[in-house]
Amino acid sequence: GRQAEVVLALCPSPGQVLLHTKAFYPAGVYRLPSGGVHRGEPVEEAMRREMWEEMGLLAEAERLVGLIEYRVRHGVESFVFASWVFLLQPQACGAPQCHDAHEQITDFRAVPLAELRAVASQLRTLPRPWREWGQFRAPAHELTAAALGL
């Protein structure tokens, strides 16, 4: 039902980015958090709401890293899905804590920014039935790495 999302590249400390995993992901798979943009919701509002829901943190966008548009086809129907990728700085330090139990987030991990390309590679090479999902999730990590000159 959604046609856009925000992807959150939160840097809790210099040189690091926060990743998360969920109860139903394959073991050892972490990625940048993301969340849907509701119809009519401004993208920056969605970014702030998702930060709170998924991480319990307040942050301001340091910058928009980029916009990824996907053309999704299902049978004869197609639509464009957009991923708005933000680089964020927290307003206050604190441990992330999910405020939406439906998300099933089980862990957060801060990793060096330089690992974003390795995360993307892992996502791109996931075995079936996760392959397409991983290939969909990888570009936001690659875009963030490229925008940071990594």
Give ∠ CA 4-27-124 in degrees, rounded to 5: 50
> What is the model's pLDDT at position 1?
63
Question: Can you tell me the distance from the alpha carbon of 115 to that of 121, in angstroms, rounded to the nearest whole number?
Answer: 10
In the chain, how long is the greatest CA-to-CA distance?
A: 48
- 32 CB burial (10 A radius; 0-12, 13-18, 19+): buried
> What is the model's pLDDT at position 59?
83
Instruction: Tell me the pLDDT of the chain (150 aa) as tens digits.
Output: 678 999 999 998 889 999 999 999 999 999 999 999 999 999 999 999 999 999 998 888 889 999 999 998 889 999 999 999 999 988 766 789 998 888 999 999 999 999 999 999 999 999 999 999 999 999 999 999 999 988
